[in-house]
Chains A and B, each alone.
Chain A
Amino acid sequence: MISLFFSALIYASLALCVLLSYRVAKVVNLSFGSIFTLGGYLSVFSLFITPIFGAWIGLLLHIGSKRMDASKATIFSLGIAIAIEEALRILFRVENILLDSRIFYFFGYKLVFEHFLASMISATFLILFLAFELKKPFSRLKLKVIEEDIENAELYGIDAEKARAIVLVISSAFFCSIGGLYLSGRVISPTIGWLYMIFSLFIATIANVFREKAYILLLPTSFGVCWLV
């Protein structure tokens, strides 16, 4: 049960990134899967560099697609996804890489330390965002206007481009970091991240049905999906 809860936390936070990209940055970011995988490969060298590379790809995505509409930006993100995957294939194709992991005891439960850390980071990310969502500060209202209509937001003087850049950079950095942690103890391949992205996309799609309450209902949705699947 505890393992299920930790998994649900991680998928909920990944789904939050997918949802934010869709609603604020107006892109179904299909490169998240490859960014997740990249995190796994980078963790072979150091876990600390994963958010830096993730953020850098998020920035690349933002700059490359900022003048595009949602469809084209999504196509662009798919191109980036395949490019990252191909780069990993060229660089690491022939190696069976089993990522290191450490065992950790949590109230008598034996866990992989990196997975536990990923869950805690995800929980923090979710709590911070929910606080931001529920407290409704001015910046949250700005974000809401962008979500509803980007042209209106610009008319009101809101810097939608900055918000888009921040969302893409943070969500990509988050995906890359969680990839580095959550893939620990696994034998990785250049396509491994696709499953996590599709799963997160699935959770985000269900949560998105609840419109206004989508962010709040992400965790229960994630828990329900993890339990069912």
Chain B
Amino acid sequence: MIGKLKAGLIVGLIVFLLFCATPPQTPTPQPQMPEIKIGVLVPKTGEFSSAGLVMENAAKLAEKHAKEMGYNVKVIIYDCGDKPETTKTAFLSLVREGVTAIVGTYSSPQAMTAADTANESKVVFVASVASADLESKVKTGNKYVFRNAYNTSYWGILAIEFLEKTKAKSYYLIGYEPLKTFNLGMFSLIKNSTKAEFRGESWVKSPTVSPEDYKRVAQEVAKKDVEVIIVGDPGLGSVDFVREYRLAGGNATIYSVGGTLALPDILAKLNISGIAFQAAALEVKAKTNLTKKYFEDYRKYYGTEANNYAGILTYDAILIVTQAAARGGDLISNLERGTFIGAAGVYEFDENHQAKWGSEKLQGTIGIYREGKIQVVS
């Protein structure tokens, strides 16, 4: 009996391993002799590892494109995990590698920790994804931190722009409780600056606390007569909400702050019409000559659609640092005074070291998924 059981176990193990065998990953391009060393912090492990992959791919693509432009760049990628602790350790590892500047990180706590570590180690850090309040760091004397991603206010501005462009008469807000502070800031901006009628707000609990809460909120909201629903959760839960909302008979346009619902692959697979989202750039609306190149080459080298937020902004952060460092002299002064071309637009930094999103040459894009295609709204 035991012998049979053991044999069964061994056969099962072999079948499982064969079943789960995955094809080898795309080989890493071999770098050349470095001149400008740029460290990139990507969350290869932990809960943001999906974003980590696109950031890593985008960083490698940026290195390749920068070399094609004639820059001698070496990108060094380190895993910053999903915690501030791992971020700080990875940051210091890159400092030890002698990098000129460090870009990346994903979540706000990671970016805040990286900003403090940048100040301690006197190495420039460009936050390429997080929306945390990094401006206050600069105001209090930390001149080593920059951000090319947009901040919380701009998330709200884009949502307002969407409501105005679509001439929506009413809107409803869906907050995500664990991101309450971030959502409240954005919601308050929307409530104060739009003519559309506010029809109420609901909050979804974290799935870790109540795995079925998105259903309750989706069914509750489906009964409301409203034109646009603004979803403040950029994570995986937004997909559950959208699906459940449509199942419950809701037909309002859903505006997502991006994240998972802005990923072309996810939108195509979900195949639900009327999902609007904000992105740093979209392939169908070229901002510079790098926009199309980024999207096309990403597809060519990695076989999937390019990420339009974390990926493209990490790509741009590397190009910004490359262009600034290539000018020689003090990197901080170069970043403060210069103009830099990226795939999402032309970057300049304000006095708080925040990229001037909303300026003429640097604007976010709003897309909408309809009938199997992504269309540009603004």
Contacts and interface: CB of A to CB of B under 8 A. Distances in A.
* A–B touching in complex (CB under 8 Å): yes
Interface of A: 3-4, 7, 42, 45, 49, 52-53, 56, 59-60, 63, 87, 89, 91-96, 98, 100-101, 103, 110-112, 185-187, 189, 191, 194-196, 199, 226, 229
Nearest to B219: A3
B249 interface: yes
B222 to A, nearest CB: 10
B210 A229 contact: yes
A111 B292 CA distance: 40
Contacts of B211: 195-196, 199
27 contacts: A4-B215, A42-B19, A49-B19, A52-B12, A56-B8, A56-B9, A63-B9, A89-B45, A89-B49, A91-B20, A92-B22, A93-B45, A94-B49, A94-B53, A95-B53, A96-B265, A96-B266, A98-B239, A98-B269, A101-B243, A103-B247, A110-B248, A110-B249, A112-B247, A189-B236, A226-B212, A229-B213
Nearest to B51: A96
A63 B47 contact: no
B240 A186 contact: yes
A53 to B, nearest CB: 7
A91 B16 CA distance: 11
Contacts of A45: 19
A73 to B, nearest CB: 17
A158 to B, nearest CB: 17
A92 B21 CA distance: 10
Given A59-B5, A96-B265, 15 more contacts: A3-B215, A3-B219, A7-B215, A60-B9, A63-B2, A94-B49, A94-B50, A95-B50, A95-B53, A98-B269, A100-B269, A112-B247, A186-B239, A229-B212, A229-B213
Contacts of B260: 96, 187
Contact of B207 (A100, A185, A195): A195
B239 A56 contact: no
Task: Sort chain B's interface into a size bin.
Answer: 35 or more
A62 to B, nearest CB: 8
B52 interface: yes
B377 interface: no
B247 A195 contact: no
A56 B6 CA distance: 11
Interface string B23-54: 00000000000000000000001010110110
| SS class, residues of chain B in contact with chain A | helix
Contacts of B8: 56, 59
Contacts of B53: 94-95
B215 A187 contact: no
Contacts of A94: 49-50, 52-53
Contact of A98 (B22, B207, B270): B270
A53 B16 contact: yes
B333 interface: no
A185 B243 contact: yes
Contacts of B140: none
B208 interface: yes
Given A45-B19, A96-B265, A63 B6 contact: yes
A89 B47 CA distance: 10
Most buried by B among A45, A89, A98, A199: A98
A208 B240 CA distance: 32
A189 B266 contact: no
In order of increasing CB-CB distance, the 5 nearest A-B pairs are: A94-B53, A56-B12, A187-B236, A96-B50, A195-B211
B290 interface: no
Nearest to A99: B269
A185 B271 CA distance: 11
B263 interface: yes
**Residue in B8, B52, B211, B260 with the greatest tally of chain A CB atoms within 10 Å:** B211
A53 B11 CA distance: 11
Nearest to A62: B5
Which of A60, A89, A94, A191 has the most CB atoms of chain B within a 10 A radius of its CB? Answer: A94
A4 B212 CA distance: 9
A142 to B, nearest CB: 19
Interface in B316-368: none
B45 A63 contact: no
A183 to B, nearest CB: 10
Contacts of B270: 98
Contacts of A185: 240, 243
A189 B47 contact: yes
A121 to B, nearest CB: 18
B6 A93 contact: no
A208 B263 CA distance: 44
B9 A59 contact: yes
Contacts of B210: 229
B251 to A, nearest CB: 12
A106 B94 CA distance: 57
B263 A96 contact: yes
Most chain A beta carbons < 10 A, residue from B5, B8, B212 = B212
Contacts of B263: 96
A3 B12 CA distance: 36
Contacts of A59: 5, 8-9, 12
Nearest to A186: B240
Contacts of A101: 243
